Chain A
Amino acid sequence: MKNQKGFVFCLTLLLVLSLLAACSQPAATAPASTDPAAPASSPQIAYPEKPKDLTILFGAGSASDVVARRLTDLVTKDIGQTIVANNRVGGGGAVGYQHVLSTDPDGYNIVWNSTSISTTYHQGNMPADQGIEAFAGIANITLESAALAVGPDAPYQTIAEFVAYCQEHPGEVTVANSGIGSFNHLVAAALENAAGISVKHIPMDAKQSTTALLGGQVDAICNMTFDIVQQEQAGQIKTLAVVSEERHALLPEVPTLKESGYDVTIMMYRGIAAPKGTPAEVISKLETAFLAAANSEDFQSFAAQYGVEVKPMGAAEFDLYMAEQDQEVADLMETLGIKTQ
């Protein structure tokens, strides 16, 4: 009898502990309280208050992850409905995409989409029927660039020198990027094509590649500028070029590939998407919410701090844009000989 009592006691204690934990969480995770700041124009539709799941395709602390979480927090506050962000990593995005596509298109599962859908699909990491057509765009939020960087003591300190060195040592210079099928790899391959050089691609994710560069194990890295900025500012690496139309806001002395004479400007878009077949009103409601968050001062200053360009697009525009980008990526990959499907 005494043992039973002790047992119940422990369970109760556990309950109390978890109550404490729950109470200390902000209203965001409790049943939504009415938010006076909610835009009066958001249509009230029969869209029950279950938390929505946002899939983030890359690891915690990465460029993709940080922006997504900030955005999600703003949107949650705005529409008073919880959006829970979950990282589902692997295959250059394949794991996360496949998860989302395996759910019902009811609007409760969305994905923090990016150009990765195209790169990972045409690389063959996704089943044939799960390409860009399987997704419905909700809103585009940002546009980001990749960059090429080397160590501060490297024998090449400009992009021209780098290219020259590579031409003299074909296949020897090691460039770390996120792995075959990833956006960064595509950028590196495009550069090879445009400059007529051939390098050795080493698959490492952003953080490992930075470590490897600092430790001298690889010669160069090709990552999102987001991941490179602060090392550059501290003088620990030297960014040779950014891959975009214009110079990066936080790195004004770094030239673009285009102005250096190599016509590669492909940028990564990031936005929200859902499985095709999601009801139109749901898409519309999410579209309004996410666009509002993207246009908010909070988000704009956050993005500016990290040099991320905010480029909001509505659902229809985003759908067209995604299809366009997919074609561009497919063509590029075909030219480079890495397209599989």
Chain B
Amino acid sequence: MKKDRIIAVLLVLFSLLIAYYSFQLPASTMEGEPGSAFFPFILLALLILCSVGLFFSRPVKKPALTEEQRREYEDLGLDLTDEAEKSQAQSLVEGLLLYGFFFIGIIVMYLFGFIAGITVGISGMLVFIGWKVPRALIFSLITACIIFLIFNTLLHVTLPSGKLL
């Protein structure tokens, strides 16, 4: 619930920021036409309204689970104990790292092209989750090449080519 409040505040700040930019949009030149800022303003107003609502809302109570449902959840691998809270924080960091690897892949792709980028990015992610380095590299490289062949060469779907390579 506290997280929701933080999000609500962030949303309000975000809306105000966008509203600031909206004010700089020119007014309408045509009669009857409300102008470029009209729609954004309405949306932002609604967003602020909803965010305030979110701020003051009580948390949605999770319904008590029956034994059967509890078993079902376990089958699906979902963890409901308080351990979950701790691992949430850990998975946040891990998740961000995974995204980070992919982002590095994007940068490499921008500079050196599709194949290089995918190889670096994907193998980074795979190594992070436990694959052995050579296996990850080979797999990513082969995947990148096959995709390149199928899409770029055969189907003529353009793929990113690096600025440097």
**A61 interface residue per 8 A CB criterion:** no
Q: Confirm or deny: A29 has a beta carbon within 8 angstroms of a beta carbon on chain B.
A: yes
Contacts of B154 in A (CB 8 A): 18-19, 21-22
Which residues of B have CB within 8 Å of A180? 29
State whether the Cβ of B155 lies closer than 8 Å to any Cβ in chain A.
Answer: yes
- With an 8 A cutoff between CB atoms, is B86 at the interface? no
Scoring A18, A29, A201 by chain B CB atoms within 10 A of each residue's CB, the highest score goes to: A18
**Contact, CB under 8 Å: A15 / B156:** no
Name the A residues within 8 Å of B29 (CB-CB).
180
Instruction: Please name all residues of chain A whose beta carbon is closer than 8 Å to the beta carbon of B42 when the two chains form the complex.
Output: none
B155 near A21: Cβ-Cβ < 8 Å: yes
B150 & A14 in contact (Cβ 8 Å cutoff)? yes
CB interface residues, B 111-148, toward A, < 8 Å: 146
Judge whether A29 and B150 touch: CB under 8 Å: no
Kindly supply a per-residue 1/0 record for chain B positions 151-165, scoring 1 wherever the CB is within 8 Å of any chain A CB and 0 otherwise.
Answer: 000111000000000
| A234-264 interface (Cβ within 8 A of B) | none
In the docked arrangement, what's the CA distance between A29 and B146, Å? 20
Does A11 reach chain B (CB closer than 8 Å)? yes
User: In the complex the two chains form, is A22's CB within 8 Å of B146's CB?
Assistant: no
Select A11's contact among B30, B146, B155, B156, beta carbons within 8 Å.
Answer: B146
State how many residues of chain B have any CB contact under 8 Å with chain A. Answer: 9
**A15 and B155 contact, CB distance less than 8 A:** no
Task: Please name the residue on chain B nearest to A171 by beta carbon.
Answer: B31
Closest residue of A by beta carbon distance from B30: A201
Q: Mark A56-90, 1 if CB is under 8 A from B, else 0.
A: 00000000000000000000000000001000000
A200 lies within 8 A of chain B by Cβ: yes
Q: Is there contact, CB below 8 Å, between B156 and A29?
A: yes
B33 to chain A, nearest CB (A): 9
**A residues in contact with B150, CB < 8 Å:** 14-15, 18
Instruction: Give A1-56 interface residues, CB cut-off 8 Å to B.
Output: 11, 14-15, 18-19, 21-22, 29, 51
Question: Please, which residues of chain B bring their CB within 8 A of the CB of A29?
Answer: 156
Assess whether A200 is in contact with B31, with CB atoms less than 8 Å apart. yes
What does DSSP make chain A's interface, helix, strand, loop or mixed? helix
Residue pairs across A and B with CB atoms within 8 Å: the count is 21
Minimal beta-carbon separation of A292 from chain B (angstroms) = 25
Task: Decide if A22 touches B30 in the complex (CB within 8 Å).
Answer: no
Give the nearest-CB partner of A86 in chain B.
B158
A130, B81: Cα distance in complex, Å: 62
- Separation in Å of the B30 CB from the closest CB of chain A? 7
User: What CA separation (Å) do A19 and B155 show in the bound complex?
Assistant: 9
A171 to B150, CA, bound (A): 57
* A139-183 to B contact mask, C-beta < 8 Å, 1/0: 000000000000000000000000000000001000000001000
The residues of A that contact B31 with a CB separation of less than 8 Å are 171, 200
Residues of A contacting B146 in the complex (Cβ-Cβ under 8 angstroms): 11, 15
Question: In the bound complex, what is the Cα–Cα distance between A19 and B154 (angstroms)?
Answer: 7
Q: Complex formed: what's the CA distance from A51 to B31 in Å?
A: 47
Which residue on B lies nearest to A12, using beta carbons?
B146
Q: For A171, what are the chain B residues with a Cβ–Cβ distance below 8 Å?
A: 31
> In the complex, are the beta carbons of A18 and B155 less than 8 A apart?
yes
User: A84 is contacted by which of B30, B149, B156 (Cβ under 8 Å)?
Assistant: B156
Q: Which B residues touch A201, using CB under 8 A?
A: 30
Residue in B31, B154, B156 whose Cβ sees the most chain A Cβ within 10 Å: B154
What's the nearest-Cβ distance from chain B to residue A69, in Å?
Answer: 16
A-side contacts of B156, CB under 8 Å: 29, 51, 84
Rounded to whole Å, the gap between the CB of B134 and the closest CB of chain A is 16
Docked pose: A29 CA to B156 CA in angstroms: 8
Q: Which of A22, A51, A84, A200 contacts B155 (CB 8 A)?
A: A22
Distance (whole angstroms) from the CB of A235 to the closest CB of chain B: 32
Given the complex of chains A and B, what is the CA–CA distance between A180 and B30 in angstroms?
11
Q: In the bound complex, what is the Cα–Cα distance between A201 and B29 (angstroms)?
A: 11
A180 to B29: give the CA distance in the assembly, Å: 11
Shortest distance between the CB of B161 and any CB in chain A (Å): 11
Contacts A15-B146, A22-B155, A180-B29 given; 8 further ones with Cβ under 8 A? A14-B150, A15-B149, A19-B154, A22-B154, A51-B156, A84-B156, A171-B31, A201-B30
Residues of A near any B CB (own CB < 8 A) = 11, 14-15, 18-19, 21-22, 29, 51, 84, 171, 180, 200-201
Q: List 21 A-B contacts (CB under 8 A).
A: A11-B146, A14-B150, A15-B146, A15-B149, A15-B150, A18-B150, A18-B154, A18-B155, A19-B154, A21-B154, A21-B155, A22-B154, A22-B155, A29-B156, A51-B156, A84-B156, A171-B31, A180-B29, A200-B30, A200-B31, A201-B30
